[in-house]
Structure 1
Amino acid sequence: MEVRVRRTTLRLLTTFRSSRLAYDSTDTCIATIGHGGVAGQGEGTPAWAHGETLEEVIEAVAAEGAKVLGPDLSDPDEVLDRVAEWAAPVGARMALDGAVHDWLGRRAGQPTWRLFGLSRTLAQPTGYTIGIASVAETLEVVANAPDVGAFKMKVRSAEDIERLAAVRAVTSRPIRIDANEAWSFETARDLTPRLRDLDIQLIEQPFPTDAVDTYRRYRDLPDRLPVFLDEGCTDVASVHAARGLADGVVVKLAKSGGVRATRRVMEAARRLGLSVMLSCNCESELALSQAALLAPLADRIDIDSQFLLRDPPFRGLGLDQGRIVLGDAPGLGVVPGPEDPPIPDAGPGPAAES
């Protein structure tokens, strides 16, 4: 078993702003595994909100990846379970898990989504995230947005009401908002009537993750918005903790550590009657294709970072009436972009082996 890992930089079309940060590029890692003459690739991004660094992710994959995968992939379920339970950074588990799923499809000579029994076009329309900007800039983004099913708007304070009202005036599409833990109870209470007037569908993570009493107070209001936990939902235990605090959870491979681990989180949420939104960080189409394998377990889809990238390193996803269309290449369905190196041969090399 051969494992290689490298860093790749994703450059955005414009600077993206939330209540927490602003950036115009981000780095992820690409893990490549080789076994039996077949190569597979997966993408991993650090759990930034929990202090992970890309250096830690790359180091874990390079140092331990081959050992975790084992000598062969004859029992993929066992291998994926080992990866999911590996005591490593979330991004490292995500990258290896993705590489195994890519390898499975490439070995079979068909897209992995077909092995999962998925339709090529996802059933749920995807959302499209709009960062914090001026009213004029926001309206320009909306005017040039792809044909998506909903808008998710990042918000920070009461000043964002003007932006929301401006967008509502030009579209009937559902609007969701995401405060990224920026609000107090008073802010949420005071803004909720105006948000309801604007037909805002839901709010993601209005309060800090540890503000349990604040979530309970808001939930007790007679008229409130549905609340989805994002930063506060990373694993099965946190899903159980969300019951009684929120109406749904936002799941991401970059929080839970890959397809196998995230599936467990989604299944737990559904058992508890929580709605599930499948989302992403700023990732390439490789990682988004990994996430798309879980689409049947989601009530809502927010797979949209491919629309934000300049010169993406992988291509293959399409869009049809707001719904993601998966790539049809063997494996995860995507191919390297013109600026990215091709997938290497799976033969022996100088990388870590077991």
Structure 2
Amino acid sequence: MRDKLIRMELDVGRMTLRLLTVFRSSQHSYDSTDTCLVAVVHDGVTGLGEGTPAWAHGETVEQVVAAVAEHGRDVLGPDLSDPDRVLDRVADWDGPVGARMALDGAVHDWVGRSAGVPTWQLYGVPRTMPEPTGYTIGLGSVAQTLELVANAPAVGAFKIKVRGAEDLDRLAAVRAVTDLPVRIDPNEAWDLRTAQELTPALRALDIQLVEQPFPRDAVEVYRRYRELPDRLPVFLDEGCTDVDSVRAAAGLADGVVVKLAKSGGVRATRRVMEAARQAGLSVMLSCNCESELALSQAALLAPLAERIDIDSQFLLRDPPFRGLGLDQGRIVLGDAPGLGVLPSDQHAFGGVDPSTGVGVRSDGGPAD
């Protein structure tokens, strides 16, 4: 009798993603990262979602997992019979960003699986992303950078992590071997003087844009950089997380970088992208270090972006999910029901069985 009364089950755990090499930026250096994995079971159908802690804002995977375990059922409600209302509740919840992202993803996966078709098909999203994706290269020597460029997948652009003038040789070497657009990302490492000194050389190298050159709270510096002649277009990343911060960016930048891991899932990030368009800002859809499950969640928003930077699947060793493809630089979504990806090794993420949702304890620990 008890089983008949249970309409929905929720399980949560953590999943470790290991990179092929150590990845370095001006702020971080890592060779693995942990994300949150959620399984929602309703009417015999399981939906899986991934949530990445908003590490730039102090979130940890422990906080994300604990929030889902404690509050997830209440946020979702008793069942998924009205997914739109459930997704609105998740987007409006004041819990950790990664927790909202994971729950939102699991509901989107469940919607497609319950209908027996890919979720992107239900939402009218094209299977092939409308714009080529970029490929991110971390800090390193000229030789290391050129090796990564030579071995990169057939993408449509490169994003190079930089610090300052010491990286001009790397950028010149990259420009000498490719005509693809090159974007740079100092991750808040510059001051105005650095930008003034570097901009002429960067323009000569035909650098397409710069992401988050200055600290997120350096509002006056962003305004002064906009006054420079022949400056680079600026996209804000760490400085834009929600609708209010996007509206504030209108006078500081030319575009914004949006990520589910900053805004809290597909529903919340769509609101951010729509606010950016209303503010006249260009939009780049991007990601943190995430598996193909999370990237497939983000892909539902691809038609709303002018630029795509979905590339962490290329950086992972033994990816736990598979399904995304690449065609002429554009990401191709998987055709499996739900978010379109399938587990490549269920033990890689705590033993969740995608058909039943069994295998991860609700307290966030690994399966026994």
Q: Distance between the aligned counterparts of 1:45 and 1:137, measured in 2? A: 28
Alpha-carbon spacing, 1:67–1:35, altered in 2? closer, same or farther (3 Å): same
Q: Which of 343, 346, 349 matches 2:354?
A: 343
1:126 to 109, 112, 133: 133
2:87 matched to 1:80?
yes
Q: How does 1:62-211 map to 2 (within 5 A)?
A: 62-211=69-218
Cα deviation digits, residues 25-76 of structure 1 (max 9, x gap) = 0010100001111110000010001111110000000111011100111211
Match for 1:256 among 256, 263, 274?
263
Query: What amino acid sits opposite 2:276 in the alignment?
Result: A
Cross-structure match for 2:318: 311
Alignment check: 8 A CA contact 1:121 1:326 kept: yes
1:2–1:349 Cα contact (<8 Å) kept: no
Deviations 1:63-115 (A, max 9, x none): 11011100111211111010001110000000000000000000000000001
TM-score (norm 1): 0.98
Q: 1:23 aligns with which of 21, 26, 30?
A: 30
Please tell me whether the aligned partners of residues 126 and 150 of structure 1 are also in contact (alpha carbons under 8 angstroms).
Answer: yes
Would the aligned equivalents of 2:12 and 2:360 in 1 still touch at CA under 8 Å? Answer: no
Report the count of equivalent residues: 352
Quote the sequence identity (%). 76
Q: Is 1:266–2:273 an aligned residue pair?
A: yes
Unmatched runs of 5 consecutive residues or more in structure 1: none
Superposition misfits of 4+ residues, deviation over 2 angstroms: 338-342, 346-352
Match of 1:41 in 2: 48
Deviations 1:164-195 (A, max 9, x none): 00000000000000010000000001100000
1:226-265 alignment, distance < 5 Å = 226-265=233-272
CA–CA separation in structure 2 for the residues paired with 1:108 and 1:160: 50
**Structure 1 position 348, deviation (Å):** 12
Aligned residues: CA RMSD: 1.3
CA distance in structure 2 between the aligned counterparts of 1:343 and 1:79, rounded to whole angstroms = 21
Residue 124 of structure 1 aligns to a residue whose secondary structure is coil
1:305-340 Cα deviation digits (max 9, x unpaired): 000000000000000010001000000000001353
In 2, the alpha carbon distance for the partners of 1:107 and 1:130 equals 38
In the alignment, the residues of structure 2 paired with residue 29 and residue 311 of structure 1 have an alpha-carbon distance, to the nearest angstrom, of 17
Select which of 283, 297, 306 maps to 2:290.
283
Are the aligned partners of 1:37 and 1:347 in contact in 2 as well (CA < 8 Å)?
no
- 2:78 is paired with a residue of what secondary structure? coil
AA aligned opposite 2:356? D
Contact 2:13/2:360, CA 8 A, preserved across alignment: no
Partner of 1:52: 59
Task: Report deviation, 1:246.
Answer: 0.1
C-alpha change, 1:157 and 1:32, in structure 2 (3 Å) is: same
CA pair 190-82 structure 1, distance change in 2 beyond 3 A: same
| Structure 1 position 272, deviation (Å) | 1.0
In 2, Cα distance between equivalents of 1:217 and 1:271: 24
Report if the CA contact (8 A) 2:45-2:355 is conserved: no
